Amino acid sequence: MRRVCFIIGLLLTVFISGCTPKQENLDGLLRSKVDAFNKAAFKDRFVDARRSELYARRALAYVNDSLPAYSDGKLRAWNNIATSYLNRAVHDSVYLYVDSVLAYGGKSPNREVEQALAKLLKARTLQRHCDIAGSYQLLYDIEQSGLLDSKDDGLLYNLARSEFYITTTTLNYHYRNKSQYQQAELLTEMEARRQELRCDYSEDMSFNYALAYGYHSLCVDTVHQEQYLGKALYYCMENFHILNDSSRYSTYHLGNTYQMIGFMLWNSNVKPDSWQRNAGKLDEICQYVLDAFGFDVFANIPDTDYSFKSLAYPFLREATALFFLHDDPYQRLGAVVATGRYCMAAGDTATARDYFNEALIDTTMLGVAPKFEAMLYEGFLTSGCAANNDEVAAWTRKELELLNYIKQNEKADFILQQELNKVRHNSISFMVFSFILLALALALLVTLLLLRRRTKALQRETAQLQAAKQQDVERIANVETCLSVLRHDITPFVSYLQNDRLPDELRREVTGQLIRTFENIKNWTNLSIPTGLQFRCGVVPLQEVFESVMSSINNFRSQTVTIAAEQTCLSIRGDRLLLEILLRNLVNNAIQYTEQGRVDVSAAQYADDDRFVCVTVRDTGRGMNDEELENLFRADKRIDSSNAKEQGYGTGFGLILCRYIIKKHDDNTIRGCRIWAESTPGKGSAFHFLVEAIGNPDTH
């Protein structure tokens, strides 16, 4: 018996020793693929943001499907996807992926640095929304973490340190007015660490741009103005040298550098004498961009009109043209505003109006940057873009709202700075005092412990204040949205019911619609407030959901509209109550906009990703145009379609509620749950939503 056991054990040992290297080789190959896709995504982040996202998603797919334990690959892919969204100004998606990195609790050698990079991406996104207090808090946390002084010298650590300096420079010089001493001190520190923080040529160009912007901001100092201007021009020239290499050419960075020079030439704080003393460097730049990139700065400037300030327009114009080659509406808006404002200052109102009108044509620019958007509305008003007094009034209100929003954020930032400065001051005082106490005697140890406890209490209070403030902001936003949509949706119903001659059949229909609207308001409010309806996740057979919804639908067009639900054996992971509310709203919406024909409900495994089930509600109604589709699920946009006007109904809470329910599933089940619509005017619409299929791996 012992001999048999020995032989079996020997065979198992040989089998395991023969199989393990193969598995290790396979894992190594897959990790190499993940790393290669992540490197490609990182390299293309400024060249082609969509392609960068595609590479990162391929890396993430390998991790999810075959390497669930490869945490470093997953975190890098998430950060790469967030970067691609930032470079396209899809800010909600940036928050989604950086929050996934920040919430990650698994083991990973690079978790600390990846989370620092996620904080920096979030800080830069918050800056775009003028939430400078939130951005400053994140930068303060990174500074206090010791990352900048860490001995780790890998690519990711150098990238994090470089991005910290770039983001801090942007915050201080673009959104604040720091003291001259503090500005010069930061730039000196950046230059001292310049060589050790090199990551890739794109990061080099971003770093050069930050230094150029910083020194340009220091030009308010008339004593050292010539020196600061020369340094700003030097770092712009450094970028041109990098861009002249065909393998490193980037229209994004070229546009940034052109715009930087345009800002410097337009800066009224820079005296002509300072430009005269730096004329050689400017002439060198103008000749270089002509030879390297074919950009003739002097092409359309008559000798009689030549001045240093007149050169700003060609640079700003060229930068605007280059930014319109990219998907980032934030950069496009900034370029349009800068060029339009320069034309206004130069007295060329007609050209300024042309630039400002670009934002009216391309509405994706609006809402991505409160600071630029406020300037844009000012440009609309001063350049005479308005077609009537109503537009003037609307733009004036919008500008005042944005300016008030920016002012409130600046006030919040000032308060936070004071609080954190107190904490920093207390920490420094505590260290000095601790040294003295240790030198005196152990008898003073109690005092030392009390001071430490007080410092930690202050830090906790600061964090609690920030959390409470964020909750207040969310509550106010929910209330404002609720009131706005409520007013829009119930007004037509009330008007109908006040008509004494309204037929009974139509009165019942309108009353039913009003009841559903209030039911949706209740559900939406429960979902949107922080302490509202709890998400109850479980296994849900879709057939039961279909049957429940079909039995509760009131088909007020039963003579002309047929409703059918396809039999299905699929089950999904989610909240059954919320799914029934979601599907009921979609079916009711389809009936409302279908005069005659069919409304069909079906479910199938999603063809593009078998982790999801796709549920579809399809109708043969009037359909929607592209503008209606674009604004369909937005709480700040109302769809005034001709059919809605005739019946007195709007899209209202129903579709907003649907969006909230899908977001709840995306947050609590598997990332990727979403809702969208397809439609052809006159031929009907199809609403689809994705939920997690049962039996597939969770990618959280």
Q: How many degrees, rounded to 5, is the angle at CA 242 between CA 241 and CA 243?
A: 95
The answer as to whether 265 is a domain residue is no
Domain of 675, in residue numbers: 534-693
Nearest to 58 by CA among 70, 82, 74: 74
The two tokens of residue 624 are: 């929607």
pLDDT digits (tens, 9 = 90+) for 94-109: 999 999 999 999 888 9
Q: What is the mean pLDDT of the segment spanning 290-300? A: 91
Q: 428: pLDDT confidence band, cut at 50, 70 and 90?
A: low
Would you say residue 22 has pLDDT above 70? no
Q: What is the mean pLDDT of the segment spanning 554-573? A: 86
| Interatomic CA distance for residues 191 and 413, integer angstroms | 27
The answer as to whether 254 is a domain residue is no
Q: Which residues pair with 600 in a beta bridge?
A: 564, 618
pLDDT score at 654: 77
SS (HEC) of 413-428: HHHHHHHHHHHHHHHH
The answer as to whether 175 is a domain residue is no
Strand residue runs (E) in 369-468: none
Question: Total domain count for the chain?
Answer: 1
The answer as to whether 600 is a domain residue is yes
Q: Which residues pair with 690 in a beta bridge?
A: 614
pLDDT digits (tens, 9 = 90+) for 184-222: 888 988 998 888 887 788 999 999 999 999 999 888 888
- To the nearest 10°, the Cα dihedral for 411, 412, 415, 419? -160
Q: 544: pLDDT confidence band, cut at 50, 70 and 90?
A: very high
Q: 457: pLDDT confidence band, cut at 50, 70 and 90?
A: confident
Share of the chain above pLDDT 90, in %: 41
pLDDT score at 430: 55
pLDDT score at 197: 82
Q: 26: pLDDT confidence band, cut at 50, 70 and 90?
A: low
Would you say residue 687 has pLDDT above 70? yes
Nearest to 84 by CA among 131, 134, 37, 121: 121
The answer as to whether 234 is a domain residue is no
pLDDT score at 601: 96
Q: Which residue has the higher pLDDT, 509 or 602?
A: 602
The model's pTM: 0.58
Which span out of 23-32, 361-370, 495-504 was modeled with the highest average pLDDT? 361-370
The answer as to whether 194 is a domain residue is no
Q: 599: pLDDT confidence band, cut at 50, 70 and 90?
A: very high
The answer as to whether 319 is a domain residue is no
Residue 651 maps to which CATH number? 3.30.565.10
pLDDT digits (tens, 9 = 90+) for 312-328: 999 999 999 999 998 88
Mean pLDDT lowest for which of 18-27, 51-60, 370-379, 667-676?
Answer: 18-27
pLDDT digits (tens, 9 = 90+) for 120-168: 999 999 988 888 889 889 998 998 888 878 888 888 999 999 999 999 8
pLDDT score at 90: 92
> Please, what is the angle between helix 251-266 and helix 279-293, to 10°?
150
Would you say residue 16 has pLDDT above 50? no
Would you say residue 4 has pLDDT above 70? no
The two tokens of residue 383 are: 């350049």
pLDDT score at 181: 59
Q: Which residues contact 402 (CB under 8 A, 6 or more apart)?
A: 370, 373, 374, 377
Q: What is the mean pLDDT of the segment spanning 592-603? A: 91
Q: What is the mean pLDDT of the segment spanning 474-483? A: 56
Would you say residue 249 has pLDDT above 50? yes
The answer as to whether 571 is a domain residue is yes
Q: What is the mean pLDDT of the segment spanning 30-49? A: 93
pLDDT score at 10: 45
pLDDT score at 523: 62
| Interatomic CA distance for residues 9 and 5, integer angstroms | 6
Share of the chain above pLDDT 70, in %: 78
- Are 186 and 176 contacting, i.e. CB atoms less than 8 angstroms apart? no
Would you say residue 277 has pLDDT above 90? yes
- Are 650 and 489 contacting, i.e. CB atoms less than 8 angstroms apart? yes
Would you say residue 690 has pLDDT above 90? yes
